[in-house]
Amino acid sequence: MRRTAVVVAAVVIAMWAVPVRAYAEPVSCDDPACVPGITPGVALGAPCQATDYYVFGTAVAGPSIQPGRLVFCGSPRRYEPRYFRSPSMAGVKHLDSSCEGYENWVAQAPDGLFLTCQSKNGAARWSRGDT
């Protein structure tokens, strides 16, 4: 009887010691409201640093922009980066996945990479937005 109790106790303790993996479905994010890392309160045209990861911000009110307007940090023709008005944003998407119907929109990859939807060879795909 004692031996059985010890064996049962050992099995219970072993079950507690084994980590349990939780599998969660990826959360869908199809608009700017759920995109992580958007910098609040930036000025349209102001200098910025990152043109590859976490490039999005929301603008403060100005003469030609409404407060909360989505902007992104870009470097036109390799000049110093600054904030521009953003095209429509599709939320969080994956690099090289289909973006059919979102041509010329922007998105952010789960790791923060700036993405743009462009058609290449007849297929619309999410590609790097900083190249």
Give the pLDDT confidence of 35-69 residue by residue, as tens digits: 999 999 999 999 999 999 999 999 998 777 788 89
Domain map (residue ranges) of the chain: 28-128
The candidate with the shortest Cα–Cα distance to 47, out of 70, 79, 87, 86, is: 79
pLDDT band at 10 (very low <50, low <70, confident <90, very high): very low
User: In the predicted model, is pLDDT for residue 27 greater than 50?
Assistant: yes
Residue 18: count of CB within 10 angstroms of its CB: 7
What residue type is assigned to position 107 of the chain? Answer: A
